[in-house]
Amino acid sequence: MYLPRFTPIAALLLAVPVGSAAQSAVPVSDPAVAANPSGLLDRVIANQKRDEQALEVYERIERVETRKNPNDRVPSSVKISRVIPSGTGMDKIPVNGDGIPPDPAAYRERLEGLEHALTLIVNNSRSQREALEKYAKRRKDRNELMDSAHNAFLFTFVGREPRGDRMLTKYELTPNPAFKPTSRFTSILPKVHGYVWIDEDAAELARIECEVTEDISFGLFLGKIYKGSHFMQERYEVQPGLWLPTFSQYDYDGRKFFSGFSIHERSFYSNYHYIGPPSQALEVIRKELARADLNKAGSTAADP
């Protein structure tokens, strides 16, 4: 089932109650002292696009915890994956908590499948052109949402609060009544309210929390995300000058056709590692498969 999970700037959903976050911010006695965020937002959006693009050349470890109810202390299921850019999306290969495959044979089969897909892309195979076009369309839609966010919301300075050794500036996002959506994607934005925390020195989005204020239709109006659904994401500098997600939380309810659904997920992202565009990623995967063959051959030779 397809559900919209777009870039954080245009996030639909939020996991932590928005009201609770406002209490921790340093209060501002005179809102007039807040600088006009327009120029800062231009820089943040430009950096956000660059960071989003970096996800296409960095692999990571992803831990997804699913809960039946958002306040459950123990998740009902946990899935840990090695997430590798495939040129047309992300290939998620199951691993354990140490990043080791629980089933080496199945793991190798998945790597071989990824090798085949990357080979087709590198060789400009006709069979992958449609997938590449769809992926490019999704990237275009994400960029459109980011560009539209600047005008879709009114940014109100709330205060400043520390995170580690850095100071973040907090803004409230309220829909701009003058904004005119230009697509079904940007029509989502007037139905969202939230907060963003920006690292002004780096001009980077550090945290976002959003809540759906009106039901959102998707899938040719055959489904809905209900009012009150939430999304939250934390972002840190994982490499010098590169800010990527480290934690996301979704709590949302809705329906698909005539069936209701309720999804509560917490995702942790770690071990970001540069793997490169398809041509470089292909070489990395081939070398990994070759090393596995050598290790297997050495192990076999050592057996009595």
Q: Look at residues 215, 212, 250 and name the one whose alpha carbon lies nearest to residue 231.
A: 250
Q: Which amino acid is at 261?
A: F
Rounded average pLDDT over 7-29: 35
3-state SS, residue 115: helix
Kindly give, in sequence order, each residue whose CB lies less than 8 Å from that of residue 304, ignoring residues fewer than 6 positions away.
none
Pick from 53-67, 251-265, 285-299 the range whose average pLDDT is largest. 53-67
pLDDT band at 33 (very low <50, low <70, confident <90, very high): very low
* Per-position DSSP letters for 115-134, written without gaps between them: HHHHHHHHTT-GGGHHHHHH
Residues counted in the chain: 304
Which residues have CB under 8 Å from 5's CB, separation 6+?
Answer: 12, 250
pLDDT tens for each residue of 180-198: 998 888 888 999 999 999 9
Which residues make Cβ contacts (< 8 Å) with residue 102, sequence separation at least 6? 94, 95, 96
Domain ranges of the chain: 32-294
Q: Which of 95, 34, 89, 31 has the alpha carbon at shortest distance from 61?
A: 95
Q: What is the pLDDT of residue 8?
A: 40
pLDDT reported for residue 36: 53
pLDDT, residue 37, reads 67
**Under 8 Å between Cβ of 174 and 213:** no
What pLDDT score does 10 carry? 39
Place of tokens 């590692």: 273
| Contact (Cβ atoms closer than 8 angstroms) between residue 156 and residue 25 | no
Confidence class for position 164, pLDDT limits 50, 70, 90 = very high
Find all residues with CB under 8 Å of 127, minimum gap 6, and list them: 120
List C-alpha distances in Å: 2 to 23, 114, 206, 291, 299.
Answer: 35, 22, 27, 37, 44
Please, which pLDDT band fits residue 26 given cuts at 50, 70 and 90?
very low
pLDDT of residue 99: 85
pTM over the 0.85 mark: no
pLDDT digits (tens, 9 = 90+) for 230-285: 999 999 999 999 999 999 999 989 988 878 888 999 999 999 999 999 999 999 99
How far out from the chain centre does Cα 233 lie?
8
**% of the chain with per-residue pLDDT over 70:** 84
What mean pLDDT value characterizes the chain? 84
pLDDT tens sequence across 95-139: 998 889 999 999 999 999 999 999 999 999 988 888 899 989 888
Question: How far, rounded to the nearest angstrom, does the alpha carbon of residue 171 sit from its chain's CA centroid?
Answer: 21
Q: Report the distance separating Cα 209 and Cα 13, nearest Å.
A: 8
| Beta strands 77-85; 90-94: pairing state | antiparallel
Tens of pLDDT along 38-52? 788 889 999 999 999
- Look up residue 26 and give its DSSP letter: B
Residue 28 has pLDDT above 50, yes or no: no
R_g of the chain, CA atoms, integer Å: 21
pLDDT at 302 over 60: no
Query: What is the DSSP-derived secondary structure letter of residue 146?
Result: H
DSSP state of 191: G
Q: How far apart are CA 248 and CA 158, in angstroms?
A: 23
With H, G, I as helix, E, B as strand and everything else as coil, classify residue 48.
helix
